[in-house]
Amino acid sequence: MKRERKNALIQEYELFKILKEETVTYVQKKFTHIVNHLIGLGKIFDREELGIKILKFLDGSWQLKVTVISKSKDLTTLTTISLFCKLREHELEMNRLNEQETEEKQVKGIALKYVIQKIY
């Protein structure tokens, strides 16, 4: 039973991906849950392995951030908590920029509508 559970968790770990609608916080909880259960069953991870795994399960929209982290940080010393914090910061900044962009588009749309109506 223990071996079957460990094999299932290893497969879940290996196939782990982030979905578009998932937040970094949610993904961190899922990932940590799997890793903690594997550690409890005797699996040993080093920081670098976990860091690489986290960076690899991110999709293409994260590529710039992944490159920056990979080039600037030593993954052997970076904890998973620190890595997820950096990803959350990036996610928050991207959300802020998207909201700002949406607001600007709405304002431009209103201004254009006013100009068109005034001409007629």
Work out the pLDDT band at 82, boundaries 50, 70, 90: very high
Burial (CB count <10 Å: 0-12, 13-18, 19+), residue 12: middle
* Domain-wise residue ranges, the chain: 2-119
Q: Which two tokens stand for residue 52?
A: 């690489």
The predicted-structure confidence for 14-32, as pLDDT tens digits, reads as follows 999 888 889 999 999 999 9
Instruction: For residue 69, give the H/E element and its range.
Output: helix 63-72
Tokens 């961190």 appear where?
Answer: 28
pLDDT 10s digits, 35-79: 999 999 999 999 999 999 999 988 888 888 888 888 887 888 889
pTM beyond 0.85: the answer is no
